Chain A
Amino acid sequence: ILNVEQSPQSLHVQEGDSTNFTCSFPSSNFYALHWYRWETAKSPEALFVMTLNGDEKKKGRISATLNTKEGYSYLYIKGSQPEDSATYLCAFLETGANNLFFGTGTRLTVIP
C-alpha cells in the first residue's frame, strides 16, 4: 500500500479568497496523478490527469502543478466561490501498477 497524503485535511476560506492544498506521493516510479472534486451527495468529478513533471493544468479558476521529482502536486483555486465547497481528492498511479491509490482528501468550505 502506497502512502498518498493530502493536507490540510480541511479548511475554511472566505468567498473571494484564493487557496491551495497539497498532495504528496512517492517520488519513485511515478506514472500519473489524478485530481477529483467531490461535492456532497454527488459523484466525484475528474479535474485533471497529470503525467509529466512540471506539468501545469488549468480549468477555469482551478489549476494544478506537478513535481514528480519531489513527490507533490498543488491544487490552486483562485477567487473561491461557495460552489467550490467540496472534498478534493488526489490519486497516484505507480509505473507498472494496476491500482490507483487515493489520499483521504481535503475538505474545502467557502464561506459566503
Chain B
Amino acid sequence: ETGVTQSPTHLIKTRGQQVTLRCSSQSGHNTVSWYQQALGQGPQFIFQYYREEENGRGNFPPRFSGLQFPNYSSELNVNALELDDSALYLCASSLGAGWADTQYFGPGTRLTVL
C-alpha cells in the first residue's frame, strides 16, 4: 500500500507563471524524490530530499526548487514556466536515504504550460 498522494491532479498554466505541486508521503518515510516524465520518455530525476535537506539533484535548472516538511509532505516549485515544462510530475517516498530502498510513487500531477 503506497499511501502517497499528489495534488492537484491536473494543472494548466501559462508561460512565465509559477507553479507549486504538492506531495504527501507515506508516514515515516524520510526521503522524497521528484521526477519529471515528458511524453515518450522515462521519468527523469529532479531532486531528492532527506529529512528536509536536499540530498541530490538531477540536471534541472535552479528555477526548479523544493521543500520537505516535518509532516512528510513536500513541494515542488517551478518558476518562470516554459513550454517544455509540460509533463507529468511524480513524487516518490522511501523509508531511508539509500537508493536501494523501495520507492513508493504517487499518481502524479499533469502540468500543461500554454
A11 at the interface (CB under 8 A from B): no
How big is chain A's contact interface, by range? 20 to 34
Q: A1-B59, A43-B2, A104-B42 are in contact. Are A31 and B107 (CB under 8 A)?
A: no
Interface size class of B (residues with CB under 8 A): 20 to 34
Chain A: CB-nearest residue to B92? A44
- Say yes or no: is A99 at the interface (Cβ < 8 Å to chain B): yes
B102 touching A49, Cβ below 8 Å:
yes
B41, B99, B106: the one contacting A32 at CB < 8 Å is B99
The verdict on B55 contacting chain A, using a C-beta distance below 8 Å, is: yes
Contact B105 A43 (CB under 8 A): yes
> Nearest Cβ distance between residue B55 and chain A, in whole angstroms?
7
Tell me the complex Cα distance, A102–B92, Å.
Answer: 14
Among residues of B, the one whose C-beta sits closest to the C-beta of A105 is: B42
B42 touches A4 (CB 8 A): yes
Taking CB atoms, residues of chain A closer than 8 Å to B44 are 102
Q: Are A31 and B42 in contact (CB under 8 A)?
A: no
Question: Contact at B56–A99, with CB atoms within 8 Å?
Answer: yes
- A residues in contact with B2, CB < 8 Å: 43, 45
Interface residues of B in 31-54 (CB under 8 A from A): 33, 35, 40-45, 48
A100 at the interface (CB under 8 A from B): yes
A42 to B104 alpha-carbon distance, docked (Å): 12
Closest-by-CB residue of A relative to B35 is A102
Contact status of A93 and B99, CB under 8 A, knowing A43-B4, A44-B105, A46-B104 = yes
- Seen from chain A, the residues whose Cβ lies within 8 Å of a Cβ on chain B are 1, 4, 31-32, 34, 36, 41-46, 49, 51, 89, 91, 93, 97-105
Q: Which residues of B contact A (CB under 8 A)?
A: 2, 4, 33, 35, 40-45, 48, 55-56, 58-59, 90, 92, 99-108
Identify 7 new A-B residue pairs, CB closer than 8 A, beyond the known A32-B99, A100-B33.
A1-B59, A31-B100, A44-B105, A45-B2, A45-B105, A93-B99, A97-B99
